[in-house]
Structure 1
């Protein structure tokens, strides 16, 4: 598959991740009304993020590997599963997709009278006063690094040639759902620098100021997992990732 096609797939997939995952948080998480109930809450948002990855893994996994996440691309390259030369182009495509997804979401959300994009937080990530549970910077850093590390470990295991064929997207989507169930109260759940960047650019202010953590911690966690997985499971030949077992 040509690099241009793979990059478009990454852009398209990350667009869907931000629109579907962050969209559920912005539009539906706390939506209340006499005929609409109390909204989907943390559980619904967690499922939405997992479903965006699961659906895109089946849709574009055979095209680009469906990384949708700079930390995943870096972690896979660290583990020898992805060419290092393609990491930067993938990250650029993922960022473009995340920003476009946030743009479309902002246009939809602004259609509601009285909606304040900045005041809403726009599904951006944060710590301290910007953490849903007011968790400290240290707690947020540990959470993002550890959760991303386990996410990458699951991706590496599920896409290993020795793993059962065809089930990788399900395992990866459910893993991301679990991560969000744990992490939303702490940081609003990132484990993905692109997902954090798109909404932060529209929310502005402190969301941008705190963005460094949501790049640094996930990348560190992914690198550690990329080193640890071959030590635990043994290595396969470089680049041997089953096409049907898309990464996410």
Structure 2
């Protein structure tokens, strides 16, 4: 009788011990730790991109001390700074449109894409809430993106500037022939130029997270679909075109197969 009790107790201890080992093994998994690091990097990076970029918009509208060129430079600088800071950790997407494009072009695992997008939206939402708490954001000082003209004009602008952004990203971040250490500068300068051109028309979002979070916080949904559809269409087109240029070392039949596989 005593021996049976000892066997039962040993079995129970073994189950408990096995469960603890399983939990520890899960937490100690290298892939899980790396994924968590990537997501944290995306949250922090997106937070400061939105905080600095949208913050410059708020400060300029409330106090007039930044000016439009200052806003353009701020957007470019903060993206460049955060790209160099966490780019080697998560890839420095900070943008659901970029994440979707990288996923479709097999540069990011499908299972990580939704987590990336959630992290980006979370970072943008936290930054938007921070700005609302820091400043008296009146309707005139709204830091989101709203079409200045028609939705069609803003949609066209968002597609074009998002195309250019993704075209540059593919050129300097995904091509082995490019000079890697200038990638952050190139992307930052591209965003600065895009804001100069597209800012007066659409606000130059190029990033669904940049537009969705302020809209949710301040309940301004006018033309919001433009800033979801436009960047996604533009980045997909930019990546597709650069893919054709990068694959020139392959025979024509292999290039056609590669393009058709991406379409599928």
Does structure 1 retain, via aligned residues, the 8 Å contact 2:171–2:178? yes
Instruction: Tell me, yes or no, if structure 1 residue 229 matches structure 2 residue 242.
Output: yes
Q: Distance in 2 between matches of 1:202 and 1:27?
A: 18
Residue equivalent to 1:50: 76
Q: Deviations over 1:52-85 (max 9, x none)?
A: 1100011100110000000111122233322232
Note closer, same or farther for the CA distance 1:235–1:74 as it changes in structure 2 (3 Å cut): farther
Larger C-alpha radius of gyration, 1 or 2? 2
Q: 1:62 aligns with which of 88, 113, 116?
A: 88
Q: CA deviation at 1:29?
A: 5.1
Residue equivalent to 2:130: 104
Residue correspondence of structure 1 range 83-94 to structure 2 within 5 A: 83-94=109-120
Structure 1 unaligned blocks of 5 or more = 33-38, 111-116, 237-248
Q: Distance in 2 between matches of 1:49 and 1:143?
A: 17
Residue equivalent to 2:56: 24
Secondary structure of the residue aligned to 2:93 is: coil
Q: Deviations over 1:64-120 (max 9, x none)?
A: 00000001111222333222322111000000000000011111113xxxxxx3413
Residue equivalent to 2:223: 210
Q: 2:144 aligns with which of 124, 135, 138?
A: 124
Count of matched residue pairs: 216
Residue equivalent to 2:164: 150
Residue equivalent to 2:186: 171
Q: 1:8 aligns with which of 40, 56, 60?
A: 40
Does structure 2 retain, via aligned residues, the 8 Å contact 1:78–1:227? no
TM-score by length of 2: 0.78
Secondary structure of the residue aligned to 2:179 is: coil
Q: Distance in 2 between matches of 1:164 and 1:199?
A: 35
Residue equivalent to 1:241: none
Structure 2 unaligned blocks of 5 or more = 1-32, 250-264
TM-score by length of 1: 0.82
Q: In angstroms, what is the RMSD of aligned CA positions?
A: 1.7
